[in-house]
Amino acid sequence: MSLRCYGARQFECRPPKTAILWAPTAAFITACSIPFISGTYATVYTIVNVMLTALTLATAIQHWPGSGKKTLSRWGLIGVHILLAASFAVRAGQGLLAAQEFGRGLPDDLLLAIHLIVALFFLTASGALSLSLAYEKNATRLFHLATRDALTGLLTRRALEDKVREIAALGEFRPYAVLIFDLDHFKQVNDLYGHAAGDATLKACADIFTEVLGKKQIIARWGGEEFIAIVETNSPVEAHALAERSRMRIKKASIVYLHHRINLSVSIGICHSTRCDSDFKEMLLKADSALYKAKAKGRNRTEAAAA
């Protein structure tokens, strides 16, 4: 069970703790070295089952779902570990309450038969559920790699287009705005400080857009130094205010990379529509046209186009 607990930590990408492997064994050997304990089989039996209960529950805790990890396989794996821990706990109680009935071996009774059935079920179910959970975890990782920009963690261009088609097919569009962001003179960052500094700058700007607009909005890296957001807003004024808030945050931000402080600005194009069935591609073209107008007027500004 120590190996299972250690393996569960590795599977969940938690820092390994080698004490999980040797501490239970060391504790058991130490306990059995005490004559009072080693001289009574019931005491040894109780200690072993208490330790197994603790290790089994610890393994279940390692699999406890965090954010975005709630799947049937995970809950099932936790459930079978809790079931086995309960069985060990019952046997520990048996060692405490029926110590006088113990000989020098396992008590051959109904509790032993039930425990063996639980253990057999655990071995079969935990194996199947572990394979299922590994498959789900790998599928989630591949989906994330396919839909998320590796540098910024935002949606990719293709993923955003797929998301728009999915929403349109479900008829869930509410009044919304398309915002296109273009970092001003971004090439100078790469030329002056190197591409690693440029990558750090893009990541920092993506974080600012996510913070200002909110994680529930659809935000993507459109390509290069361009970003795009589809934001649910009830009015052009509200959409413009969000864009301006983003612009000011970028303007005020001082991005630190190594010993360099990088300051930059952003130009933004907006197209807002109160019609839920507005064509996304048409709005995108109008927002792009507004963006070029902002750049033509001197950059570091927001321009809006009517839908």
225 is catalytic: yes
**Residue that the structure tokens 């009935």 belong to:** 101
> How large is the C-alpha radius of gyration of the chain?
30
Residue 299's nearest CA partner among 230, 242, 250 is 250
Answer yes or no: are the C-beta atoms of 110 and 92 closer than 8 Å. no
Is residue 227 helix, strand or coil?
strand
Distance CA(76)–CA(104), nearest Å, equals 36
Q: What is the pLDDT of residues 5-27, one digit of tens each?
A: 888 888 888 887 888 888 888 88
Whole-angstrom Cα distance, residue 14 to residue 61? 12
Select from 90, 176, 74, 54 the least CA-distant residue to 129: 74
Mean pLDDT for the stretch of residues 195-222: 93
Tokens for 72?
């049937």
Tell me what pLDDT residue 247 has.
95
Please spell the DSSP secondary structure of 237-305, one letter per residue: HHHHHHHHHHHHHHHH--EEETTEEE---EEEEEEEES-TT--HHHHHHHHHHHHHHHHHTTSSSEEEE
Where in the chain are the domains? 2-147, 157-306
Query: How many angstroms separate the CA atoms of 77 and 75, rounded?
Result: 5
Task: Give 229's strand partners.
Answer: 179, 219
* CA-wise closest residue to 223 among 284, 155, 299, 283: 155
Tell me the per-residue pLDDT of 246-266, one tens digit each, with 9 for 90 and over. Answer: 999 999 998 888 888 999 999
The pTM assigned to this predicted structure is 0.66
Q: Are 78 and 60 in contact (CB under 8 A)?
A: yes
Which CATH superfamily, name and number, covers 157-306?
Reverse transcriptase/Diguanylate cyclase domain (3.30.70.270)
One of 12, 161, 166, 225 is an active-site residue; which one?
225
Look at 127-136, 243-252, 266-275, 277-286 and tell me which has the smallest mean pLDDT: 277-286
Query: What value does the mean pLDDT take over residues 108-125?
Result: 90
